[in-house]
Structure 1
Amino acid sequence: MIKLKYMVCIPALVCSFYPILASAQDRLVTVKKIEIPGAPARFDYSAIDQQNARLYVNQEGANRTLVFSTHNYRFRGEISGISQPTGITITPRGNLAFISSPGYPLLAPPDRPHVWGNGVVDVVNLINLRVVRKLPVSIFPDGSAWVPKESRLFVSNERAGREVVIGGDPMRVLASIPLGGQAGNVVYDPRTKRIIVNIQTLNQIAVINPKSLKITRRIPLPQGCVNNHGLLLDTSKNLAFIACTGHLHLPPGEVKNDQSKILVMRLPDFKALQFNIVGENPDVLSLDTVRQRLWVGSESGVVAVFKIGSEVAKPMKNIWFGWVGSDAHSVAVDPKTGFAWFPLLDVNGHSEIRVVKLEQLGSA
């Protein structure tokens, strides 16, 4: 058992502690393994198109987006002509995808630490899997969110510290909103009709009016949430989930705190409710809206799954916690089946898509 030390708790918040072992309440069962040909290559964000039963997986290390059927797990094709793709957003009709492509070099050389690729957002026709437009958005575009009423895409330009807005007919860059710090992930809240974005170097959240393109509010996060990158909403429960990565680079000799956790906040007032421990360096969050389960991937390969209940002060309960595979930092859950799709960097010398499900112990 790995002991968790130096945990920071905030008064009036509930802190939950879990060892890096599988939970005794549920078991993780592998449904399917899909081997990806070629040398191992890193993945990033995935997206499930429920309407067309498709999974889109950005394999940034191979400069492509892979497409699979969520019905029979078969490979359906790939999107090429993109450069180290990170974020992906699919429009509600499922006919267009927006793929963030930071370009080269994704990782800057040691002698030029501030040099990044000239990033674009690739607009993709999902009927023929072709890139139809490339929109320049400066350095390192990452996560994105679609606003249906305004028909606008908000893209977190992480390294530039800006939220880039795409829209119009034809689609083009409409604005670039300075955040004051590095942009983490971004979501759209349909209830308040506002964009919510992490400012990860300020430990802060910004609220943006998607029509006026103005920042209307800034919310400082509790002391225990450091480097807030991942972000997801459960609109049915009026909750926001913030992935707190923690200190990635500490001064020599300083003890590393166990600061990788999920912060739960109540909407729309952003009242902090609960912290829960997750795998080191959490990244992508995915919500099973049918079963009310939150899946949290991490760069360490450790995955946490939580059940979202109705308790006001402590809405989340851990139901599984353990190692899934190499670099299991990205996850996409299909609400129709409850199956979670994990792209894994290296499994015995190849990359793999692993489909898993949770079962209660003792069930068939």
Structure 2
Amino acid sequence: MDVGPTPHFAGVDARLHKLFVSNLAAGTLTVVSTRTGRRLATVHLGGTLHTVMVDQETGRVYVTDIQRGLLDVVDARTDAVLAEIPVGRLPHGLVVSQRRHVAWVSLVGQSQAVEVDLRTDRVLRRVPTGPNPWGVTLNSRTDRVYVADTGILPVPGGFRINPRGDSITEIDGRTGRVLATIPVGPHPWNVVADPRNHRVYAGVSGAAEVAVIQGRRVVARIPVGRTPHGLALAPHAPWLLVNNSGSNTTSVINTRTNRVVETVAVGRQPQGVAVDPRTGRAYVENQASATVTVLAPGRRP
């Protein structure tokens, strides 16, 4: 796929058969047909783009812009930029509640999670988290928000590491109240919630493992490759996909047994992984090789 120079994260519009890929350094969003693999458009947003989420009901694409402190809004059908919402310093992670029409954005530079009303494009509340949060996810059944307190702050020339970055913050999505701080291990980078089994999976980058959380405690630890980054759940099978950016692989985990069933070689420095909710096809964004690896649906890749 022709996806641009620094593909980082992506989102899929299942109705329009489109893949939206953020290019971290280029400030662009590449639009690709999931049917043909052809590039359809390039959306120029500017800044430094990170996480991409698609609201399947409204046809809106949301992108965090680290450099400009924005949540960008794009029309999935026309590829037009609809809004730029100021959210705060260094927005990274993003999750959208299609039921409540709100988004939660993690602010690495402010150690906060921000709730945004997607009907009015306004910030509703700011919730303190652990240090320098990156990933954020939502259990759509319980309306619980989980934020990865990574403890890694981007600075000119590299990163500043906070040793206290070792937990997941649980927030009540309805009230904004912090419910718990769950220790998981050094520098959890990303996190994903499975509403089917009420478990949360955190990629613990400093330990090369995935921590499985249930009932506010870690119930299992699954060894994966180096520096686990992007995570995604398959919609029609018990697979958790984990991108290991330090190993150039994707681990496939059986969520029933908490075991790695396959390790797939992908491109260099895989970052995000997006899954088509209809087909189950997964798209791995390989930042250093400027490619996207497509993993087959309905079975192990």
TM-based fold match above 0.5: yes
Question: What is the alpha-carbon distance in structure 2 between the residues aligned to residue 158 and residue 140 of structure 1?
Answer: 6
Question: What is the alpha-carbon distance in structure 2 between the residues aligned to residue 132 and residue 94 of structure 1?
Answer: 13
Question: What is the alpha-carbon distance in structure 1 between the residues aligned to residue 63 and residue 243 of structure 2?
Answer: 21
Q: Which moved more, 1:48-57 or 1:137-146?
A: 137-146
Q: CA deviation at 1:309?
A: 3.7
Richer in strand (by share): 2
Tell me the percent identity: 24
Which of 206, 221, 226 is equivalent to 1:218?
221
Q: CA deviation at 1:27?
A: 5.9
Residue 54 of structure 2 corresponds to 48
CA distances 1:272-329 after superposition (whole Å, capped 9, x unpaired):
222222221111110013233210112212221121243xxxx21xxxxxxxxxxxxx
Which of 273, 281, 302 is equivalent to 2:291?
302
1:136 aligns with 2:145: no
- Contact kept, 8 Å, 1:244 with 1:261, in 2: the verdict is yes
1:153 aligns with 2:156: no
- Contact kept, 8 Å, 1:198 with 1:229, in 2: the verdict is yes
Higher RCO, Cα 8 Å, sep 6+:
1
Which of 184, 197, 204 is equivalent to 1:192?
197
Q: CA deviation at 1:54?
A: 0.3
1:174 aligns with 2:184: no
Residue type at the aligned position of 2:278: V
Residue 227 of structure 1 corresponds to 227
Residue 244 of structure 1 corresponds to 244
Give TM-score, length-normalised by structure 2. Answer: 0.79
Which of 38, 59, 64 is equivalent to 1:29?
38
Q: Residue 203 and residue 172 in structure 1: after superposition, are their counterparts in 2 closer, same or farther (change >3 A)? A: same
1:102-113 matches, within 5 Å, as 102-103=108-109
- Contact kept, 8 Å, 2:188 with 2:202, in 1: the verdict is yes
CA distances 1:22-61 after superposition (whole Å, capped 9, x unpaired):
xxxx96311122223xxx5211101101111100011111
- Contact kept, 8 Å, 2:130 with 2:169, in 1: the verdict is no
Residue 123 of structure 1 corresponds to 115
The runs of at least 4 consecutive aligned structure 1 residues that moved more than 4 Å come to none
Which of 265, 287, 295 is equivalent to 2:253?
265
The 3-state SS of whatever aligns with 1:90 is strand
Residue 282 of structure 1 corresponds to 270
- Contact kept, 8 Å, 1:102 with 1:142, in 2: the verdict is yes
Question: What is the alpha-carbon distance in structure 2 between the residues aligned to residue 191 and residue 197 of structure 1?
Answer: 16
Residue 102 of structure 2 corresponds to 96
Question: What is the alpha-carbon distance in structure 1 between the residues aligned to residue 285 and residue 254 of structure 2?
Answer: 22
Question: What is the alpha-carbon distance in structure 2 between the residues aligned to residue 201 and residue 154 of structure 1?
Answer: 19
Question: What is the alpha-carbon distance in structure 2 between the residues aligned to residue 32 and residue 274 of structure 1?
Answer: 34
CA distances 1:87-133 after superposition (whole Å, capped 9, x unpaired):
11111315211011111xxxxxxxxxxxxxx3111111111111111
1:59 aligns with 2:65: yes
Unaligned runs of 5+ in 2: 1-34, 152-164
- Contact kept, 8 Å, 2:141 with 2:195, in 1: the verdict is no
- Contact kept, 8 Å, 1:87 with 1:142, in 2: the verdict is yes
Residue 16 of structure 2 corresponds to none
Q: CA deviation at 1:166?
A: 0.7
- CA RMSD between the two structures: 1.8
Residue type at the aligned position of 2:293: A
Q: Residue 152 and residue 125 in structure 1: after superposition, are their counterparts in 2 closer, same or farther (change >3 A)? A: same
Aligned residues: 253
- Contact kept, 8 Å, 1:278 with 1:302, in 2: the verdict is no
CA distances 1:56-96 after superposition (whole Å, capped 9, x unpaired):
01111111111011122121111114211101111131521
